[in-house]
């Protein structure tokens, strides 16, 4: 049975007006001045990630984040993932098939509102999107800021987690909600797709990297990381995948959901709350009851809420040396009370 979203339509068949979008480059994460924090709570530092422009993407993405923190269980339960039995076909009205793959131009957003233009291809051929869930709509979300878009995206996250066998935010993937364009909606398209894409970097919006085969078996987990340390060793930039068996700057520990009620303009309050959320994740990753003084807990957070149009609300938790210029020669996962594998 298909799961549908949106209130019943009341009269008429005219599609809603086309939403206006900002011109690229889109900004998902922006630099935020690090708040003042007691030294006992750990050093705060600025993270800025510049995402490279993939071949088929239409924009570059700016990121920023801040330090410290720990996972909580207060996030609302996401609705069960909707899936349907359907056949990929040229009929724009047909609900897309779960497991189908598409060549797709992307805008760098977690929102694809011209999904009927994506070209259906065999999954063994190069493609950008793989559908992990689909369903029917009674009304069309007008933009990523539409509450209905956030609701459906939440169900997409559950489907993506089930598809991958782990939270999608812990892998080099990016999740997109795809809906028909206004013209297709006017021709009877009443569906949505939940599409996974391969990403170049951690949490990169709209990675758009072409891949072959299914991400169910080819998605890469986020593990060790490399980055550039700024001149005064208080911040980092250009975060890229690293090799755990080679010298590297830090490591990804896990992902938590950004609490929706926080005032994101209050950096200190956000940092304090995310410190409470990320720290248990890092401790579980390390296999310890406390973080050694030689290490620091880091995290980044989404600048905007879903109400602002940013559908991805993952907070990614990381571990690094307290002295950012120090590197590691092996993974810190499960290190427990063993010696920290510092380089040099």
Asked which of 113-117, 186-190, 199-203, 335-339 is least confident by mean pLDDT, the reply is: 199-203
Q: Which domain holds residue 262?
A: 39-73+221-321
pTM tops 0.85, yes or no: no
Q: Is residue 261 part of a domain?
A: yes
Last residue of a domain, one of 175, 197, 218: 218
Q: Is the same domain home to 100 and 67?
A: no
Which letter does DSSP use for residue 10 in this model?
Answer: -
Strand pairing report for 50-51 and 235-241: unpaired
Do 126 and 213 share a domain, yes or no? Answer: yes
How many domains does the chain divide into? 2
Residue-wise pLDDT for 171-230, tens only, equals: 999 999 999 999 999 999 999 999 999 998 887 765 567 999 999 999 999 999 999 998
- Looking at the predicted structure, is the pLDDT value of residue 88 above 80? no
191 within some domain: yes
pLDDT at 64: 31
Query: Do 186 and 298 share a domain, yes or no?
Result: no
Residues 46 and 96 in one domain: no
Distance (Å, whole) CA 326 – CA 313: 30
What is the SS3 assignment for 295?
A: strand
If 0-12 CB within 10 Å is exposed, 13-18 middle and 19+ buried, where does residue 38 land?
Answer: exposed
């Amino acid at each position: 049975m298909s799961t549908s979203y949106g209130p019943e339509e009341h009269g008429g068949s005219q599609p809603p007006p086309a939403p206006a979008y900002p011109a690229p480059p889109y900004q998902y994460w922006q630099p935020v001045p690090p708040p003042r924090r007691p030294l006992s709570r750990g050093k705060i530092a600025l993270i800025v990630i510049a995402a490279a422009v993939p071949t088929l993407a239409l924009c570059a993405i700016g990121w920023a984040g801040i330090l410290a923190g720990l996972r909580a269980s207060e996030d609302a339960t996401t609705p069960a993932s909707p899936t349907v039995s359907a056949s990929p076909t040229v009929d724009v009205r047909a609900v897309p098939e779960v497991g189908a793959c598409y060549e797709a131009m992307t805008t760098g957003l977690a929102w694809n509102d011209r999904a009927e233009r994506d070209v259906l291809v065999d999954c063994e051929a190069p493609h950008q999107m793989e559908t992990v869930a689909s369903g029917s709509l009674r009304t069309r979300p007008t933009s990523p800021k539409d509450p209905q878009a956030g609701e459906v995206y939440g169900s997409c996250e559950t489907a993506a987690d089930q598809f991958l066998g782990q939270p999608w935010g812990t892998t080099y993937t990016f999740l997109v909600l795809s809906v028909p364009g206004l013209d297709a909606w006017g021709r009877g398209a009443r569906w949505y797709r939940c599409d996974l894409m391969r990403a170049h970097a951690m949490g990169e919006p709209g990675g758009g990297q072409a891949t072959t085969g299914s991400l169910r078996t080819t998605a890469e987990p986020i593990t060790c990381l490399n980055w550039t340390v700024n001149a005064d060793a208080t911040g980092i930039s250009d975060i890229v995948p690293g090799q755990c068996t080679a010298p590297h700057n830090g490591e990804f520990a896990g992902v938590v959901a950004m609490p929706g009620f926080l005032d994101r303009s209050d950096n200190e309050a956000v940092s304090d709350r995310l410190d409470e959320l990320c720290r248990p994740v890092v401790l579980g990753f390390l296999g310890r009851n406390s973080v050694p003084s030689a290490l620091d807990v880091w995290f980044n957070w989404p600048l905007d809420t879903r109400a602002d149009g940013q559908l991805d609300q993952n907070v990614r938790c990381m571990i690094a040396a307290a002295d950012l210029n120090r590197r590691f020669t092996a993974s810190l996962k499960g290190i427990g009370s063993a010696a920290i594998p510092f380089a040099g």
